[in-house]
Structure formats: C-alpha cells, structure tokens
Amino acid sequence: DPPERTKVRIMNSPYMSWAVIHLAKANGCFDDLGIDVEFVTMRGIREGLPALAQGRLDVLPGFITPGYVNLMQRGAGIRIVADKGYMEAEGCPYRAFLASRELVASGRLDSFEGLRGLRIAGERTSTSYYALSSLLRAGNLTEDDIEWIDLPTPAKQGALEAGAVDIVNASEPWITRIVQSGAGVIWLPARDVVPGFQHSFLMFGPSLLEKDREAGMKFMVGYLRGVRIYNEGKTDHNVRVIAGETGLEETLVRDACWPPIRSTGEYDTESLLTYQSWAFEEGLIDGLVPVEGFWDPAFIEYANRVLAEEH
C-alpha cells in the first residue's frame, strides 16, 4: 500500500537562485517521501509573501526583504527553515558591483571619495540596496553623495553599455552576461561589503509550521537531498536541469557563479540580526525580531537525522 501523498505548493521562479528546488524536483527527491510538489509560478516573493502567510502557498524560497521582517513582527505565522544561499568570503561572486573597464582602470574607484557623484543603478530590493548602503557607510558617505537609479534588471546591461550609469549592482546570471558582453567588469563583489550575508533562504507558512509539521519535515528531507545534488557542482546533469528550468543557455549557466549552500541547511542567524539593525536604522522595519521569531531549526534537525541514517 503506497503511503498517502501530500501536496506541497511551492512558489516557483525560473531564476538561478531556485536551482536547488528545480534540482530536487527533477531528481525525484520528494517522490518516495509521499510529497507531490506543485509549482506555482510567480515573479517574485513580493507576491508570494502574503500568499504564504495566508496558507495559500506552503513553501516560499526567498530572499530577505524588510516586508518579511515586518510581517513576522506583526505575528504572521511564517519562519525561515533552511539556508538557500549566502555570501561566501572566498570563491566567485554571486552578487557584485560592476563598472566599465575604463572606470575601474582609471583608479577613481580605489577610494571611497571617488564614488561621489557617480550614478549607481540597482533595485531597491533589500540585497542590492543593503550592499550599497553598507558600502556607503563604510566610506562615511550617504545616499546624497551619489545618484541612485532604480532600474529593472534587463535594462542594466544596456544602461552600462550606453554610459547612462557608472556602476550597476547585479546578480547572476547578469554578472556573467555583462562581463562577457564587454559592457563592464566586476569592480567589487558584494561579499566584500556584507561578508557572510544570508541573502537567500527557504520559508514555511502556517500550513507546514502548524497544521502539518510532518509534511514539513518530509519536505525538508527532500530539500536537503536537493542541496546535496546542487553541491556536486556544475555537472552536466545539473547544468542541463537548471538551464532547462530557467531557459538560460547551458554555457551561461556553466559560466555563472553558483552561490554556496550549506548542505546541513544551517542558517546564519547572526547575519539576519545584523541586517535587521541596519534596516531598523534605515526606517524600513518597525522593530527587531529575535532569532526564535524568525528561525525554526526543527525541520533541518529532523532531516539531517534522517539523511544521516540513510548513509
């Protein structure tokens, strides 16, 4: 008798940072656990957060935004349950500041003073903005000293090429694309500004946190299996799956930086506390959420036990 199957609705986006989920699903990591993953395609977590809080989505792979903090601050039943990407001190940069080769070569960017008056493009989404803000703080500058330009990602490359902006903040695969097109070079990886930053994670909503924790546990087992496959690196198989799910060329996927994910799913809570104090000073959040208010380790603990037994 096959076990009763549980449906888990998970927000899907064809971004590189969804790679783990795509790999896990493609490799059937959930199948023998009785979990059926249903993808709900959306563009960003802005749309997904309320759905998660209302129990219309069960799992939201996401990145940190002030809205997430504010929602938990107000008692929404959502928690971070696993790592999905952080900024490693060494290795390739998943997010970076890029500038034209000439600007970097000129040496102007070697001192913070050189930033004054430059046009810097990014999105006021937290990570991009957090990196910039941290950069400026490190140099005792404020946002008034530069010109911040909000740009949709696809326009960044053209803007840099046309000289409409001086510096852009981008993530993969845009970094590789910009570099390969010759429009710009990496000037400063974001990890140098916000080292170790936990930019990406997996969230559960009330349906898995409260109603059906067991399903959450099982899902996590599948997820961590996916992480292990991901950590095998740029194997042909992995490249093909990710390229297939995101629609990117395989060469681009292969050339791009894959951010590291801890195979235990362990999450650096310290990083989020630092982020919160920054966001609070910026007036983006209404209060600080303590660790137990945003992080629920029970799921990875269970999954790690199961996976340890398997081996």
User: What is the smallest separation between the CB atom of 229 and other proteins, expressed in angstroms?
Assistant: 23
**Binding mask of the shown chain, residues 252 to 291, with x at each position contacting other proteins by CB under 8 A:** --------------------------------xxx-----
**Binding mask of the shown chain, residues 24 to 43, with x at each position contacting other proteins by CB under 8 A:** ---------------xxxxx
Choice from 28, 34, 50, 290 touching other proteins (CB under 8 A): 50
Residues 18 and 23: their CA atoms lie apart, in Å, by 9
- Which residue, among 50, 61, 54, 56, has the nearest Cα to 11 in the 3D structure? 61
φ/ψ region of 18 (left if φ > 0, alpha if ψ in -120 to 50, else beta) reads alpha
Output the DSSP codes for 120-138.
EEE-SSHHHHHHHHHHHHH
Which of residues 244 and 260 has its CB atom nearest to other proteins in the complex?
244
Residues 184 and 187: their CA atoms lie apart, in Å, by 9
Choice from 117, 152, 308, 310 touching other proteins (CB under 8 A): 152
Count residues binding other proteins (CB under 8 A): 53
- 276, 290 Cβ separation under 8 angstroms: no
Residues 233 and 91: their CA atoms lie apart, in Å, by 13
- Which residue, among 152, 272, 253, has the nearest Cα to 203 in the 3D structure? 272
Q: Which helix (H) or strand (E) holds 225?
A: helix 213-231
Which of residues 28 and 50 has its CB atom nearest to other proteins in the complex?
50
Choice from 227, 248, 256, 303 touching other proteins (CB under 8 A): 248
What 8-state DSSP symbol labels residue 182?
A: T
User: What is the smallest separation between the CB atom of 177 and other proteins, expressed in angstroms?
Assistant: 6
Which of residues 56 and 305 has its CB atom nearest to other proteins in the complex?
56
Residues interacting with other proteins, by CB under 8 A? 12, 14-15, 39-43, 46-47, 49-51, 53-54, 56-57, 65-68, 70-71, 74-76, 121, 124-126, 148-152, 154-155, 157-159, 161-162, 164-165, 177, 181, 246-249, 284-286
